[in-house]
Structure 1
Amino acid sequence: MNWEVYALKYADRNSRTRKDSFIFDDNHDQPHEMDYFIWVLKSGDQVILVDTGYDEAEARRRDRPIIREPAAALGGIGLKPEDITTLIVTHLHYDHAGGLSQFPNATIHLQAAEMAYATGPCMCHDTLRMPFSADHVCEAVKRVYSGRVVFHDGDGEVAEGVTVHCIGGHSRGLQAVRVRTTSGWLCLASDAAHYYENVFARKPFPIVVDLQNMLEGFDRIQALASHRSLLIPGHDPLVMNLFERAGPDYAVRLDRGPAREFTL
């Protein structure tokens, strides 16, 4: 079974510099933009959502405006939030799990290590807690109590041709998603690589719980993809330029590979 894969952009932050993206870099003061995405997998009648983004309430709370509600962005490819019954949450940071409540019919696929991390002693530290919001984590806990969380411990299968793989590094239970497509195996790295440059130039991202896991994860996510052009970083604006548009101007299709020459 092969899958179509779509990236839907819902926000950007253009006031960042390279020091916000790379621990080791010689040009820390140069501007460095960031895009925010959710991802959709489609095969026949089957649909899987990867991450939820964050909503207007969280945007106001963090003073990080969004362009469009991620749940509403699904309409651009003919979907509604109620259509989503399978949801892969790569990790519980606010920008990846901040819209869980908008998908009431979804069963969540999550690494057990991520739930333990987001609800455990590490959250006593302000620095480690910063990317999480208690309401989002509590929503994930409620799904556990309603029997709608499937926990994975390392590698796991979500559907035929869709697997998850615990990478860690950026968050303790961060998972990447491997998807079979007509172009080969595609890897949605999520925040295992925010940018192409993180992984291909081996420049770690500054928000990190385990630097060794992050660095070893760069090798793992490259191995999960059939070709480096099928490794999709979680926040790189280049994604919107490299891949072909799919309907609205905020959606691109990933499974056919880049529409423009890939030179990274």
Structure 2
Amino acid sequence: MLLEHDSGLVLVDTGIGLEDIAHPVERIGSSAINAAGFQFHEPLTAIRQIERLGFRAADVTDIILTHGDHDHVGGLADFPNANVHISEEEHFQLGIDHRRYSSAQFAHRPRWITHPTSSERWFGLEARSLDLFNGISIHLIPLFGHTLGHCGVAIQDGDRWLLHAGDAYYLRVELSTDNHPVSTLATQRADDDDLRRASLSELRRLAQKHAPEIEIFGYHDFTEFPSEAAISVE
């Protein structure tokens, strides 16, 4: 997801990056590649898509991460000058969980900005405000469980909100039923499945009670991604 503002671009997650394509085993590991079925196509990287829009890597001023899994952070190195926003809990996990996360994907020393617990609320959920634009609200919304610091990203878009739910679910059908094709996968990939289920319950509440005020979409179900793939923030 790409946001455009007066002084540059903001990217939500980065996907697989150029260095991952050049050195996949060294950066991700063969077991993770085989388990997840990662695809390595340079034209689909964030940097190449941004360049096709007429921008440069230097135009990306900030990156907001939902969490630190391989397929969400691999492109960080393609934007070395960007500020990288992440929950305090997830940043801590990056330093200690070498089973799940790859230190090679952070070897370029990202410009971290960590966001701690907040008393602010957003539709009943904790909200950690990111001061990126004057008058435009962007929040990290803790949706823990998939990882211990996983967050959604809520973005004000006029009189409505967009909520990028990251990997809090894989398929949209999860918002309406527990009987779906990825139930086992979601449980297996969760660092805390009880927390994951609680976060999913909150997303279901938002979807049922606050549509169309809130448009929710995840990272992996491309059929639900908003038509506004690039949003201009004024």
**Shorter-chain TM-score range:** 0.7 to 0.9
1:41 aligns with 2:3: yes
Residues 44 and 254 of structure 1: is their aligned pair in 2 closer, same or farther, counting only changes over 3 Å? closer
Q: Which residue of 2 aligns with 1:88?
A: 64
Percent sequence identity is 21
Match of 2:103 in 1: 134
Q: Counterparts of 1:189 and 1:209 in 2: how far apart (Å)?
A: 17
Give the counterpart letter for 1:227 in structure 2. A
User: Number of residue pairs matched?
Assistant: 196
Question: Structure 2 stretches of 5 or more lacking a match?
Answer: 26-32, 118-126
Residue 222 of structure 1 deviates from its aligned partner by 4.7
Aligned with 1:219 (options 201, 204, 228): 201
> Residue 99 of structure 1 aligns to a residue in which SS?
helix
Q: Which deviations, in whole Å up to 9, do the C-alpha atoms of 1:174-227 show, x marking residues without a partner?
A: 110001113511100011122212233246413110111111111333556742
Alignment partner of 1:235 is 2:220: yes
Which of these residues, 74, 77, 80, is aligned with residue 98 of structure 1?
A: 74
What amino acid is aligned across from residue 190 of structure 1 in structure 2? G
The one of 90, 94, 115 aligned to 1:152: 115
How do 1:137-216 and structure 2 match up within 5 A? Answer: 137-139=106-108, 142-143=109-110, 148-154=111-117, 155-158=127-130, 159=132, 160-182=136-158, 184-202=160-178, 204=183, 205=186, 206-216=188-198
Conserved? CA contact 2:83–2:112, under 8 Å: yes
Please list the CA deviations of residues 70-105 of structure 1 after superposition, one character each: whole Å capped at 9, or x if unmatched.
211112333221111111111111111111111121
Please state how far the C-alpha of 1:45 moved relative to its aligned partner. 4.1
Deviates more, 1:196-205 or 1:169-178: 196-205
1:65 and 2:27 are equivalent in the alignment: no
C-alpha distance in structure 2 between counterparts of 1:110 and 1:188, whole Å:
14
**Matched residues in 2 for 1:81 and 1:56: separation?**
12
TM-score (norm 2): 0.73
Closer, same or farther in 2 for the Cα pair 1:111/1:76, shift >3 Å?
Answer: same
The alignment partner of 1:71 has SS state of: helix
Q: Deviations over 1:125-184 (max 9, x none)?
A: xxxx24x22212444xx23xxxx3211124311133111112111111111000111351
CA contact (8 A) 2:89 2:148 kept: yes
Aligned residue for 1:218, secondary structure, equals helix
Q: TM-score, normalised by structure 1?
A: 0.65
Code of the residue aligned with 1:156 in structure 2: it is R
CA distance in 2, matches of 1:254, 1:197: 26
Match of 1:259 in 2: none
Contact 1:186–1:224 (Cα < 8 Å) also in 2? no
SS of 2:189's equivalent in the other structure is coil
**Contact map agreement 1:86 1:106 (CA 8 A) in 2:** yes
Q: What's the CA shift string for 1:31-75, capped at 9, x where partnerless?
A: xxxxxxxx1122444531111111244244336323322211112
Q: Give SS of 2:14's match.
A: coil
Q: 1:73 and 1:112, CA in 2 relative to 1: closer, same or farther beyond 3 A?
A: same
Q: Is the 8 A contact 2:87 2:116 kept in 1?
A: yes
Q: Which moved more, 1:175-184 or 1:226-235?
A: 226-235
Q: Which amino acid aligns with 2:166?
A: S
Q: Which residue of 2 aligns with 1:249?
A: none
